[in-house]
Amino acid sequence: MNILVTGANGQLGRHMRLLAPGSAHTWLFTDVEELDITSREAVTEFVKANDINIIANCAAYTNVDKAESDEATAMRINGDAVGYMAEALNDAGGTLIHFSTDYVFGGTMYNTPCSEDMEANPTGAYGRTKLAGEKAAERCHHLIFRTSWLYSEYGKNFLLTMLRLTAEKEQLSVVFDQVGTPTYAGDLARAVFRIIESGEYLKHEGIYNYANEGVCSWYDFTKEIARQAGQTTCKIMPCHSNEYPSPVKRPAYSVLDKTKFKETFQQEIPYWTEALSRCIANIKH
């Protein structure tokens, strides 16, 4: 079986690369240099030429603020490109594994963990384009994994930024009125890898939530990052979201309910502080 991973230089893609050598299947990794996913013709040709059975679409436009002024580009990557993959795989009888986000919520003020059947109501362009990608993925056999607050050892993410800032600054203010769950990209990649390797992707279809267990604010997340990294010189202060003006309103509460994932795939999900410790240990070593 041939598996294509798009966005292979990103956080999820990098972790998929680490897992692939343990697979019985053939994995192909592309990023924008190797495959322009915003070209229908390029996607169709690549799927045909390489006899692709599964696409794990790790590619995404993730700049939440910039998407407000460049929604067209975000839509081409997060929405249109997903449709091209789904169309190509539908013709080939394949499966699309697509990754979405808690940002599809926010317009409706939920105060309980968001399940897959709750109404998606995004507040900004990023969430709208990711929701469009979910709809596009449904054109073929698909599994969509919504996740939240993704971080890893790679690229640009909140963890790496806070490790740097708490080492450089004497004082730092971080919002405490946005609540969710940090998710280690390595855990999400491993969960999906198991589903692919076991063949369970063939038995199931639809949307599944996956984030690490537990709940915290960005302030709590930062405090735990500093504690685990042994950085004690920076005073971390809580602040309100409105103290950091943004072109988009971020979800105040976007905790994801993982019940469906756990019951369907019979996988345990690590608690967020334990996952964070593994990631920080990898960074240190």
- How many Cβ atoms from other residues are within 10 Å of residue 181's Cβ? 25
CA 56 to chain centre: 12
How would you label 5-38 residue by residue, b for 16+ Cβ within 10 Å and e otherwise?
bbbbbbbbbbbbeebbeeeeeebbbbbeeebebb
DSSP-assigned states of every residue in 206-262: EEEE---BS-EEHHHHHHHHHHHHT--SSEEEEE-GGGS--SSPPPSB-PBP-HHHH
- Out of 61, 84, 103, 126, pick the active-site residue: 126
How would you label 98-118 residue by residue, b for 16+ Cβ within 10 Å and e otherwise?
bbbbbbbbbeeebeebbebee
Question: Quick one: angle between helices 218-229 and 158-168, nearest 10?
Answer: 60
> Which tokens belong to 246?
């943004």
3-class DSSP state for residue 101? strand
- Which residues sit opposite 134 in a β-bridge? none
Active site residue 126: yes
| Contact present, 130 and 75 (Cβ < 8 Å) | no
Q: Which residues are catalytic?
A: 126
